[in-house]
Amino acid sequence: MTGVLEAAARQLRSWPRSLVFWWLLVLAPVGGMGVLWALLDTGALHKMPVALCDQDHSALSRQVARWIDATPSMRVTRVVTSPDEGEALLRSGKVYALILIPRDFERDVLRRRPVRPIAFLEGQHMVAAGVLSRDLTELGLSLWRELDTDLRERMGVPAASALRQASTVGLDLRPIANPGTNYRPFLLPGVLASLLQLTLSIMTVAALHRLARTDGPVRGVWREVAGTLLPPVLWTWMLGCGLTGLLILHGDLSLRGSFGLLVAAWLVFSLASAALGLLIFGLTENFIQSLSVVSAFSSPAFAFAGLTFPLLSMPFFGRLWAMLLPVTHLLKIVVQGGQMGSPFSAQAMSFLSLGLLVLVEVGCGLPLAALRVRRVRRRPDSRAPEPRQEVRS
């Protein structure tokens, strides 16, 4: 135990003058979260530019144009005279949608004939296309309900009956979490966890590489390895809990479960992320290989964590990769246990998965990492050069 604490103390003493520590464990996660928090100012998509092609030029088509422009998620920035002109704007990325109001639109509506305005969406931007598709659909239903009610009133139907007859079968959507479809609760926890997994794994590799290139005994190296990793793990744990607490206090995250559950999850997650770097360090031959494997394995963590693409819809290889990433299990606990308030029994499997990752990666990685440190220390040419001392005459 003494060797572990001594190695941890040496690691702590090196931090004030270590650019690697300041960059990986302070500036990168805190700065990245700050930039994303500032970018997601309102947490929702507002005033996305769309183009409008009105081929009817009627009072009703102008009313539709005003309704489109009044929708919070979109703003008519271009009024084009032909669909080809609008398509060119859409393909050049200047607008996210082209809305085409066909000829005889008002006449067909008043005669209760089928009429179908067309919306061309830029499908590569899936988030923008999804929001625009949802809002345009709601706008169309609202417009038809108002027009149908007005037509029935003109036919002598009482206003209340006309509104009731114009109403269609609707679906009452009640989201359990994030009812306002805000992007801050959706993106910030995933980005924070992905950043800390990547930075802690890289910090683990860098710290062990530095340990291997310093003079020291070749026996009992595992104590030095464990002690070297203890401060980064504790720091990441406290940083993750602190930033999560700030997001909750600021209102960017809703907390319906226990914060203690999140504290425990961040601790096991930090251990698993460091264990991942430990295993990769033990399996590779040099520092460049270690960094390459860590980056290749952890960089797409956000995509495989189940936020951008549903985890249950992934193919087997995607689900396997996701299960090997600590961030996947942490986000399940944060979202389901923290934001949705599900009981602890629902999160037990995620905790067990994180614990299993720690046991397997530490059990395999610790002896391999200690073996690599001993192997490097036995090569005198691989040790860090001693600082020169001037001899005064």
Mean pLDDT of 208-221: 79
Give the pLDDT score at 149.
73
Angle at 210 between CA 207 and CA 213, to 5 degrees: 150
pLDDT top residue among 265 and 167: 265
What is this structure's pTM? 0.79
The DSSP secondary structure of 40-106, one letter per residue, reads SSSSS---EEEEEEESS-SHHHHHHHHHHHHSTTEEEEEEESSHHHHHHHHHTTS-SEEEEE-TTHH
- What is the pLDDT of the chain when averaged over all its residues? 83
pLDDT above 70 covers a percentage of the chain that reads: 87
Mean pLDDT of 238-255: 87
Mean pLDDT of 205-215: 87
Give the pLDDT score at 237.
96
Give the pLDDT score at 169.
59
Task: pLDDT band for 166, please (50, 70, 90 cuts).
Answer: low
Mean pLDDT of 356-370: 93
| Fold designation for 48-166 | abc type-2 transporter like fold (3.40.1710)
Mean pLDDT of 67-95: 91
Nearest partner of 51 among 120, 133, 102, 106, judged by Cα = 120
Give the pLDDT score at 52.
94
Task: pLDDT band for 179, please (50, 70, 90 cuts).
Answer: low
Mean pLDDT of 66-70: 90
Segment of 3-7, 172-176, 177-181, 209-213 carrying the highest mean pLDDT = 209-213
Nearest partner of 166 among 154, 181, 178, 174, judged by Cα = 154
Q: How many CB atoms lie within 10 A of CB 277?
A: 32
Give the pLDDT score at 366.
92
Residue 135: pLDDT above 60?
yes
Is 149 strand, coil or helix?
helix
Give the pLDDT score at 50.
94
Q: Are 46 and 39 in contact (CB under 8 A)?
A: no
Cα separation, 50 vs 65, whole angstroms: 11
Domain residue spans in the chain? 2-40+183-382, 48-166
pLDDT tens across 121-131, in order?
988 888 888 88
Give the pLDDT score at 173.
67
pLDDT top residue among 3 and 387: 3
Residue 200: pLDDT above 50?
yes
Q: How many CB atoms lie within 10 A of CB 312?
A: 6
Give the pLDDT score at 235.
94
Cα separation, 99 vs 54, whole angstroms: 8
pLDDT tens across 2-59, in order?
778 888 888 888 888 888 888 888 888 888 888 888 877 766 778 899 999 999 999 9
What letters, b where the CB count within 10 A reaches 16 and e where it falls short, cover 279-305? bbbbebeebeebbebbeebbeebbbbb
Give the pLDDT score at 276.
95
